[in-house]
């Protein structure tokens, strides 16, 4: 059945866009920056593919799942959509991890303020660790006085 592979890629891309939109990860927050990052990433990977094709590293296998449109030797239409999906997935996942790190940093600094820095010393966040270390040295200074 021709087109199943392209359909799966488009289905996955649509799902990723819905997740992005629901949680305001990339496209809603910074649409121009997201589009530019995805297009630059896609262009980079397309150039990478073309170098691989020219050097004989990448070859297109035959599959009844492909649409059958070949943009260049060994470069099926599906590859462009796969690279778009890969680049967009990277941008969205970066936003997810960035948001999680910020939330951990806020939790770590909130805990450091409440407990006088004790959670910052053993905390996982770099920001919390720095504030915890400063809190610990302040406490040592007070003990010496």
Do the Cβ atoms of 27 and 20 come closer than 8 Å? yes
Domain span at residue 68 reads 1-90
For residues 35 and 145, what is the distance between their CA atoms, to the nearest angstrom?
57
18 inside domain: yes
Total tally of structural domains belonging to the chain: 1
85 inside domain: yes
Closest CA to 39 of 93, 98, 69, 83: 83
C-alpha Rg value of the chain to the nearest Å: 24
Do the Cβ atoms of 54 and 75 come closer than 8 Å? no
What secondary structure letter does DSSP report for 3? T
128 inside domain: no
pLDDT digit string, tens, across residues 16-46: 999 999 999 999 999 999 999 999 999 999 9
145 inside domain: no
pTM of the complete model: 0.72
pLDDT of residue 60: 86
130 inside domain: no
Which residues of the chain are under the pLDDT cut of 50? 114-145
27 inside domain: yes
28 inside domain: yes
């Amino acid at each position: 059945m021709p087109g199943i592979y392209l359909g799966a890629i488009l289905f996955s891309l649509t799902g990723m866009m819905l997740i992005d939109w629901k949680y305001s990860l990339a496209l809603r927050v910074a649409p121009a920056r997201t589009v530019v990052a995805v297009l630059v990433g896609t262009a980079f990977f397309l150039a990478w593919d073309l170098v691989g094709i020219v050097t004989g590293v990448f070859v297109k296998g035959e599959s009844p799942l492909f649409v059958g449109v070949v943009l260049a030797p060994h470069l099926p239409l599906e590859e462009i959509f796969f690279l778009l999906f890969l680049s967009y997935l990277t941008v969205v996942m970066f936003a997810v991890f960035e948001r999680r790190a910020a939330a951990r940093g806020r939790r770590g600094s909130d805990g450091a303020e409440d407990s006088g820095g004790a959670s910052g010393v053993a905390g996982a966040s770099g920001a919390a660790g720095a504030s915890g270390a400063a809190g610990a040295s302040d406490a040592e200074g007070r003990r010496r006085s």
